[in-house]
Amino acid sequence: MFRLILYVLLFISGLFCQSELSERYTTLQEVEAQLNSWYEDFSQNNDPYPTVPGNEGIIYHHEIIGYSGVDNLPIWAVKLSFNANVDEDKPKALILGQCHAEEIYGVEIAMGLIDFFLYPMNNPSYYQSIYNIMQNAEIWIVPTHNPEGLSVVHGWYDHLDVWNQDVYYRKNKYDANNNNMFDFVIGIGNDEDGVDLNRNYDFNWIFGDALYSVDSGCGANPSYLANYDYYRGPAPFSESEVVAIRDFVLEHDFLLSIAYHSSRSGCVAEKVIYPWEWTAEKKSPDFDITSRLGDELITFLPKEAESGYYASASSVSRRGNAHDWIYANTGCIQYLVEVGTENMQSDDVAIIDETVQKNIVAALHLFKRTAGTNIQDGPEKYQITGIITDAITGNPLEAEVWIDELNGPMLKPRYADDFGRYRRLLIEGTYTIHFDLFGYEPQEYTFVPSSSQVTEYNVALQPSEYFDLSLNLNIPTSFDEQLFVSVSSKYFEDSIVLEYNDINPQSWNLPANQEYEILIYSDNIYPEKKSVYLLEDVEIDYNLKWKSTVFHDDFISLNAWNNQGWLASDGFLLSQSEIFYENLENSLLYSLNSMPAGDYMVDLRLKYELEWDNDFFQIDFIPSLDIPIDTPSLYVSGHDYDWKNYLFNISSNDDSFLILNFSSDESLDYRGVEVDYITVLSKPEVADCNPGDLNQNILVDIVDIIALVNFIMDENAGGFEFCLSDLNFDDSLNVSDIILLVNIILEYN
């Protein structure tokens, strides 16, 4: 049916266009026309498989999930399942038909898949598989999320009625040179406009090509140069097409996915690629699971022009790809299938049809893995699933779920869906799975999955006991600032702002058996930070004091440091001079002067991008330069490349030096560490005083004087001015003022 409608559309369109492509390929207009035709036939049809008894319900639904960035063209998604008009508790798979404009086989496979499931009677040998998948899973298909690029490849008449077409075009139509025109060059590469949509995701985005980067070819075809073709975009998720896919994926909790591509150069042709193997020792946490299914998929994909089958391969590049981002951020395992040879726009209809058909059969195998069925020689069923509920009410819970053996620091937390349902694909082995949600007692379960049946394990989480965490805040006399208070844990954060004239006791009723971090600060109050493990009602009294600065550096230079590998540039401290750091680095920065034993608070403004767990940045006190850091006061690793302020406690029992340490291992690099400033604060043990009340005995020694003078020198020293109001100082103090102040303090000693 699809082909009959398609050939009619192709015949009509062929009368009016000059396309270089075979009429077998589907234009954007034909995609939309066909989707609407299917909608008319199936969106209200409750008996779509009339030859088979049963109640399939409506099996077709489509929706617009976003629009292209320049021409505002719709991006369509099709849902195939029994009762497709209803949200049901089923595992989901996603097909992304076309991302790169010239790689048009994916559009044909996507449209062919829809036709395959809507008309199973045309494929009787696969009918049992089709029926079983539709009954037990949801299949979502996005024929193209680059409609602008698809239009360029198929060609169009401009406003002067001149035919334009570039069958080699790859990107969308983003106006990269900002001249309000679409600038492209017919042929491979050199197109000034456009973004490569498969370089625009934020996971390792920085490694994609910058604007107007030239191509260096590839080993298999060094003469193939596609300059400008891989531009990553001005920022991660800058392109609305990629945002549409991101938001769609985050909404739907997909279990498995295929994204179709093709390789014009032939360098990566006829491959099934999965996340990731950056080095032999640095593989994705689910690598053994993803590689096995990849090896199974290629058995359905014989090569086009030679003996053998597609190759199964892990990805080794880091450059903002969809399959890596989707896996790391949602847990969905996406396979990038490079369809066909370098002849990826064949005009041989038999080759096109054969390419589409074998990829449909391979996708069926992935859909069976999604559905947990091994019907008609389907895959093994290794999988665990279940419903998480409240043990008292029975309501579903969206708890966090992780498996110790399949976890990694680069993976975002994964949660049960709206039904309380969780699912994880597995292979043979022993696993420990955890269930955790704020307000409930965590649970874990150790199990061995089966190849012949899906492991069902439902979880009823017990609500936690609650206790009160209360804070009594005593502020200095004449405090006139806002006070910031936050209480946070792994799943909870509450921040409040208190006005100086309304500082009341604060209380939170919180789940027990969790660690909460308390942070209290203002512009000039010494920050108070501590952790409390809540086992009972807790009441804490805070006697807040003005802060004193004992050390500050904004890195105009490194004159205050013994430097071993760091760089100061434009007022920032950098872990390296180039954009990416070297491997096997160990850069140290020691303060030249030691600080007295005591308890301090460090205020630090920082951003960093480091390899998770393997590369790190840390800060601590050390009494001697030949003593290694034991348990650092601050330790960061992973990615947080936005400027943030960090407040953390640091202390020493002896006079100690401040040390900053950056270290990398033998492989993989990132953008490293950048520090704006660092300030070490102390809490002077000085009695509070009232304005003009200088006639009390203030006992000081020379250390107190030095600390106080240093404090006043600091730009944030306003906290002590209320004690000096009778002296008629201006807002700022000069050297004469400081000498006068010292003399006054000595007079009262």
pLDDT tens for residues 125-166? 999 999 999 999 999 999 999 999 999 999 999 989 999 999
Q: What letter would DSSP give residue 477?
A: T
pLDDT for res 706: 52
- Residue 529 belongs to domain with CATH number: 2.60.40.10
Whether 115 has a pLDDT exceeding 80, the answer reads yes
Q: Which of 19-33, 367-381, 598-612, 724-738 has the lowest mean pLDDT?
A: 724-738
> Does 163 lie in the same domain as 27?
yes
Listed in order, strand segments (DSSP E) in 162-223 are 163-164
Say yes or no: 35 and 130 in one domain: yes
**Confidence category of residue 345, pLDDT binned at 50, 70, 90:** very high
Express each pLDDT in 464-493 by its tens digit: 999 999 999 999 988 999 999 999 999 999
Q: What is the per-residue pLDDT for 224?
A: 86
Final residue belonging to a domain, choices 371, 400, 428: 371
pLDDT exceeds 60 at position 10: no
> Is 360 in the same domain as 253?
yes
Q: Which of the four pLDDT bands, split at 50, 70 and 90, describes residue 705?
A: low
State how far the Cα of 54 lies from the Cα of 692, in Å rounded to an integer.
90
Question: Is 60 exceeded by the pLDDT of residue 13?
Answer: no
> In this structure, are 526 and 559 located in the same domain?
no
DSSP state of 19: -
Mean pLDDT value across residues 95-119: 98
Is residue 442 in some structural domain?
A: yes
C-beta of residue 723 within 8 angstroms of C-beta of residue 729 = no
Total domains present in the chain: 5
Domain span at residue 390 reads: 383-461
Q: Side-chain half-sphere of 102: how many Cα atoms within 13 Å?
A: 25
- CATH number, domain of 344, equals 3.40.630.10
266 and 118, same structural domain? yes
How far apart (Å, rounded) are the C-alpha atoms in residues 334 and 331?
A: 9
The answer to whether 359 touches 301, Cβ cutoff 8 Å, is: yes
Q: Would you say residue 499 lies in a domain?
A: yes
Q: Is the pLDDT of residue 725 over 60?
A: no
Q: For residue range 562-615, what is the model confidence (pLDDT) as tens digits? A: 999 999 999 999 999 999 999 999 999 999 999 999 999 999 999 999 999 999
CA distance 300 to 538: 63
Are residue 529 and residue 555 in the same domain, yes or no? no
Question: Which of these three, 428, 461, 494, is where a domain ends?
Answer: 461
pLDDT band at 52 (very low <50, low <70, confident <90, very high): confident
What is the structure's pLDDT at 729? 41
701 confidence band (pLDDT: 50, 70, 90): very low
Question: Across residues 41-70, what is the average pLDDT?
Answer: 93
Instruction: Please report, for residues 466, 506, 508, the alpha-carbon distance to residue 469 in angstroms, rounded to integers and kept in the order given.
Output: 10, 8, 5
**How many whole angstroms separate alpha carbon 291 and alpha carbon 276?**
9
Residue 412 is given by DSSP the state P
Residue 165 in contact with residue 27, Cβ under 8 Å? no
Same domain? 719 vs 637: no
Q: Residue 417 maps to which CATH number?
A: 2.60.40.1120
Alpha carbons 71 and 174: distance in angstroms, whole number: 10
CA 435 – CA 422 distance, rounded (Å)? 10
pLDDT over 70, % of the chain: 89
DSSP one-letter code for 310: P
Question: Which of 461, 478, 500 finishes a domain?
Answer: 461
CB 587 within 8 A of CB 662: yes
Q: What is the mean pLDDT of the chain?
A: 91
- 688 found inside a domain: no
Query: Does residue 696 fall inside a structural domain?
Result: no
Q: Are residues 311 and 410 in the same domain?
A: no
239 phi/psi in degrees, rounded to 5: -100, 130
Is residue 474 included in any domain, yes or no?
yes
Same domain flag for 671 and 729? no
| 489 and 615 in a common domain | no
406-431 pLDDT, tens per residue? 999 999 999 999 999 999 999 999 99
Instruction: Answer yes or no: do 321 and 246 share one domain.
Output: yes
DSSP, collapsed to helix, strand or coil, labels residue 272 as strand
Q: Say what the pLDDT of residue 740 is.
A: 53
Under the banding of pLDDT at 50, 70 and 90, the label for residue 290 is very high
Mean pLDDT (whole number) for 53-79: 95
Q: Is residue 210 part of a domain?
A: no
Residue 744: band (very low, low, confident or very high) from pLDDT cuts 50, 70, 90: low
pLDDT at 710 over 80: no
Residue 124 vs residues 118, 230, 331: alpha-carbon distances, Å:
13, 43, 34
Predicted confidence at residue 715, as pLDDT, reads 40
- Quote the pLDDT of residue 727: 40
- CA 290, CA 272: separation in Å to the nearest integer? 11
- CATH code: domain of residue 666: 2.60.120.200
Q: What is the pLDDT of residues 228-275, one digit of tens each?
A: 999 999 999 999 999 999 999 999 999 999 999 999 999 999 999 999
More confident residue, 39 or 713: 39
Report if residue 43 sits inside a domain.
yes
Instruction: Point out the least confidently predicted range of 14-18, 169-173, 182-186, 688-692.
Output: 688-692
Query: What are 54's two structure tokens?
Result: 């049963």
Please check whether residues 502 and 420 belong to one and the same domain: no
**pLDDT above 80 for 188:** yes
In a domain, 482, yes or no: yes
